[in-house]
Amino acid sequence: MRLRNWLFHNFREVSRIFGFEEVDFPVLESEALFVRKAGEEIRDQLYCFEDRGNRRVALRPELTPSLARLVIQKGKSVSLPLKWFAVGQCWRYERMTRGRRREHYQWNMDIIGVPEVTAEAELISSIVTFFKKIGITASDVGFKISSRKVLQEVLGSYSVPENSFGKVCVIIDKLEKIPVDEIKKELKLVGMSEVAIEELLQVLSIKSLEKLEEVLGGGGEAISDLKRLFFLAEKFGYSDWIQFDASIVRGLAYYTGIVFEGFDREGKLRAICGGGRYDKLLSTFGGDDIPACGFGFGDAVIVELLKERGLLPELSQQVENIVCALDQDLQGAAASVATKLREKGQTVDLVLEGKPLKWVFKRAARINAQRLILVGSSEWQKGMVSVKILSSGEQYEVEVGKLE
């Protein structure tokens, strides 16, 4: 819990520094919110039920659909752009593996209402800021960046129907996980010709923007968006964190433009985070489309990475005072001392039972107490208590009213 709080505190601090406002959504949602037909992993692993009123419901697997619904609901009552973040629990119905649990938390940041690539650049900047804050450098982690428009241009030139686009992306996202022959088979099922598939796989192997420009030509949005993003990255100051990689498409159906993924450079772990532009999501829920982009950053893989790098922080319990009555009759006196200190904002662990001093010292050590305050009969009659500074062993008596 201390680790979780530390992590979430950093999520929140970075979001705050970037001027984002916190939002949250229901944990239990209508299943319909997450039903998309592109064959996504997230849909297959939906933790869904029928409730007592025979409604199909699901524990949210992600936050973005709820966010989209909220944006539609708010309609004209909010001024764009919205810059929202959330740290929310999400669920998947799946076997557990390293860095992948049934229940996990996700930090999301989303910018709603900005069509320019500056928005994606800002989002990546915030993740970089987070990494730096927790001690992770550009030699530990990088971002692979591409654009769904790359695929769109390739598919367009082979007349692949537009409504297959989401499906094709979801299939391609599995490129590193399942054999390429399987991928080809699935792409054929979606109606792609063999020539188109070969061309697509060719393009997906490209690792430089120059090469991509040679293949696609210079006039398209894919190239201009990506160039703009790399230009902005330099100005934001994180060029050394990012690289173009056409194979990145992300596994969610709704992305439409820039997509990115944070990865550990040692290649041992799953993606650390991922995001992209989703300009057409709102209309799938019956709203008017608003340009938007965002990312999700889980709480599991990052902890694995911190462990790998020896960067997990030391987080022990911190208590300023432990207050103890030396005999049962002085419990009330000890309680009044505790209250006085707490009123001054001091943290106090009050010993609630009669215990031997040895026990009290052991407890003080375990909770890292700085001072031990003993309420003993003879001192108390003089309005005094005895204070022991536990780090130095220094000991003195002080008037109760003068305890600071």
- 294 φ, ψ (degrees, to nearest 5): -170, 175
Per CB under 8 A, the segment of 181-189, 198-206, 217-225, 314-322 that binds a copy of itself is 314-322
Per CB under 8 A, the segment of 16-24, 193-201, 210-218, 376-384 that binds a copy of itself is 16-24
Show the tokens assigned to 168. Answer: 């094709």
In the region spanning residues 78 to 117, those forming contacts with a copy of itself, defined by CB under 8 A, are 79, 81, 83, 89, 91, 93, 103, 111, 114-116
28 near a copy of itself, rule: CB under 8 A: yes
Q: Which amino acid, residue 69?
A: R
Residue 51 to residues 29, 33, 41, 54, 102: CA-CA distances in angstroms?
Answer: 11, 16, 23, 5, 20
In the region spanning residues 237 to 296, those forming contacts with a copy of itself, defined by CB under 8 A, are 237
- 203 φ, ψ (degrees, to nearest 5): -60, -40
- 48 φ, ψ (degrees, to nearest 5): -120, 160
Q: Give the residue with the Cβ less far from a copy of itself, 106 or 152.
A: 106
CB of 52 to a copy of itself, least distance (A): 6
Q: Which of 30, 239, 284, 336 binds a copy of itself (CB under 8 A)?
A: 336
Q: Which of 158, 192, 6 is nearest to 87 (CA)?
A: 6
- Virtual torsion, Cα 190, 196, 201, 203, nearest 10 deg: -130
Q: Which of 195, 201, 165, 199 is nearest to 183 (CA)?
A: 201
Q: Which of 145, 187, 226, 232 binds a copy of itself (CB under 8 A)?
A: 232
Q: Which of 191, 332, 383, 399 binds a copy of itself (CB under 8 A)?
A: 332
Instruction: Tell me if 145 sits within 8 A of 225, measured CB to CB.
Output: no
Show the tokens assigned to 106. Answer: 């996700």
Task: Pick out the residues of the known binding site.
Answer: 62-64, 92, 106, 110, 250, 254-255
The footprint of a copy of itself on this chain (CB under 8 A) covers a number of residues equal to 69
Please give the angle made by the CA atoms of 193, 39 and 269, to the nearest 5 degrees. 100
Q: Give the residue with the Cβ less far from a copy of itself, 54 or 391.
A: 54
CB of 344 to a copy of itself, least distance (A): 10
CB of 350 to a copy of itself, least distance (A): 6
CB of 119 to a copy of itself, least distance (A): 5
Map tokens 């069509």 to a residue. Answer: 115
Residue 21 to residues 82, 99, 111, 135: CA-CA distances in angstroms?
Answer: 8, 28, 11, 25
Q: Give the residue with the Cβ less far from a copy of itself, 190 or 229.
A: 229
Q: Which residues pair with 369 in a beta bridge?
A: 319
314 near a copy of itself, rule: CB under 8 A: no
Q: Which residues pair with 348 in a beta bridge?
A: 321
Q: For binding to a copy of itself (CB under 8 A), which residues are involved?
A: 1-2, 4-5, 16-19, 21-24, 26-28, 47-52, 57, 59, 79, 81, 83, 89, 91, 93, 103, 111, 114-116, 118-119, 121-122, 125, 129, 231-232, 234-237, 317, 319, 322, 331-333, 335-336, 338-339, 342, 345-350, 352-353, 362-363, 366-367
